[in-house]
Amino acid sequence: MNDEVLQAADAVVAAFGEGRLDDYFAAFAPDATFVFHTTSERLNSTAEYRALWDRWVAEDGFRVLACVSTDRLVQLLGETAVFTHLVKTTVSTTAGEETTHERETIVFRRQTPGHWLAVHEHLSAAPGTSMETER
């Protein structure tokens, strides 16, 4: 099952990094929760996160250019799996391009054999990095 979770995580990272938003958001349960160090409060659904994303696009021209996942770990807990990794993301906004270094936890729940859906995402600045980004 480790491979199944890694495939689900790879699909999330690839969709995010390639800007395939419908695929990215479809990888999360409707009631998934999101905790980001860049937002002041928890997002309580995938719809809330999508609305925030749409606001970033409208206000800042936000677009993901690339995403690289390293230092990956899967912990299986029955029908639940915890995936942790380091993430290097390059985005473009009206201010220009920037690259962030973060660590992320995604909790997956098995829906059916072979199919895992993300139910929680937590993103924080990677250890040893500041809140500043590369430019």
pTM for the model? 0.91
Residue 132 scores a pLDDT above 60? no
DSSP 37-98: TTSSS-B-SHHHHHHHHHHHHHHH--EEEEEEEEEEEEEEETTEEEEEEEEEEEEEETTEEE
Residues 37-57 have a mean pLDDT of: 96
DSSP code of 41?
A: S
Residues 114-131 have a mean pLDDT of: 87
The Cα–Cα gap between 80 and 77 comes to 5
Q: Tokens 């409060």 belong to which residue?
A: 41
Q: What does the pLDDT look like over 72-121, one tens digit per residue?
A: 999 999 999 999 999 999 999 999 999 999 999 999 999 988 899 999 99
* Whole-number average pLDDT of the chain: 93
